Homo-oligomer: A and B are copies of this chain.
Amino acid sequence: MILLSAVEENYLKYIFQLSEISDKGIVKTNDLAYKLEHSAASVTDMLKKLSDKKLVAYKKYYGVSLTKTGLQIAVQVLRKHRLWETFLVKNLKFTWDQVHAIAEQLEHIQSDELIDRMDEYLGHPKFDPHGDPIPDKQGVFSSANVICLADAKLKKQYLLANVNDESSAFLKYLNKIQLKLNDKIKILDKEEFDETIQIMINEKKQMTISKDAAQNMFVKVV
């Protein structure tokens, strides 16, 4: 069990996030410096340390990528971040925009037992309140191409792919409005004021969906 500082964990997390949108998973020093809001010199410094610990593969003037160990740690930090965000929104009723800063702190709490029990407590959610996938204990993300219904685009055709909330209240609600997994959903309108959404289900039934409900539904593009 490797114990890392919160700072080191953050480096790994950001390298992971940048590597996902970069060429061949190679992250540039300056991009990392910008993300971390540190000087490029500090980043170079830390990259050498992480390289010594075999958490990253670093080549001078070229860039950095995660090793297998570094990747595993980065993914677990992301898992913790997203589980905490889920807890903050679902249980403590924070709004999605309030939780990031707090989760940035909570993600560095060191206790596997804690995060396992939190995962259990939340009902093993697969997506966080922003619709980002939550990797499981083994680091496996559930299917990509799924977005939160709250973030879905107007006029496009989707299929209901996943629900985040396993509470009986929410499932009963879905039952009542007769919405099931793999039903077709098209967004007719989004109301800016209260963020409710007008949807068409299976090309025949029109419904108004609350912001809360939409945030718990995940759809994939047809």
Tell me, in angstroms, the Cα distance from A95 to B100 when the chains sit together.
29
B91-A113 in contact (CB<8A): no
The distance from the CB of A5 to the nearest CB of chain B, in whole angstroms, is 12
Tell me, in angstroms, the Cα distance from A29 to B164 when the chains sit together.
51
User: Is A171 close to B, CB under 8 A?
Assistant: no
In A54-105, which residues have CB < 8 Å from any B CB? 88, 91-94, 98, 101-102, 105
Closest to A94 in B: B117
Tell me, in angstroms, the Cα distance from A136 to B111 when the chains sit together.
27
Chain B positions within 8 Å of A106 at CB level: 106, 109
User: Is A200 close to B, CB under 8 A?
Assistant: no
Tell me, in angstroms, the Cα distance from A114 to B85 when the chains sit together.
12
* Contact-size category for A: 10 to 19
Chain B positions within 8 Å of A114 at CB level: 88, 92, 102
A93-B111 in contact (CB<8A): no
Chain B positions within 8 Å of A117 at CB level: 92-94
B98-A105 in contact (CB<8A): no
User: Is A121 close to B, CB under 8 A?
Assistant: yes
Other CB < 8 Å A-B pairs besides A92-B114, A105-B109, A106-B109, 17 of them?
A88-B114, A91-B121, A92-B117, A92-B118, A92-B121, A93-B117, A94-B113, A94-B117, A98-B113, A101-B111, A102-B109, A102-B111, A102-B113, A102-B114, A105-B110, A105-B111, A106-B106
**Which 5 residue pairs spanning A and B have beta carbons closest together?**
A92-B117, A105-B109, A102-B111, A102-B114, A92-B121
* Sampled A-B contacts (6; CB under 8 Å): A92-B118, A94-B117, A102-B109, A102-B113, A105-B110, A106-B106
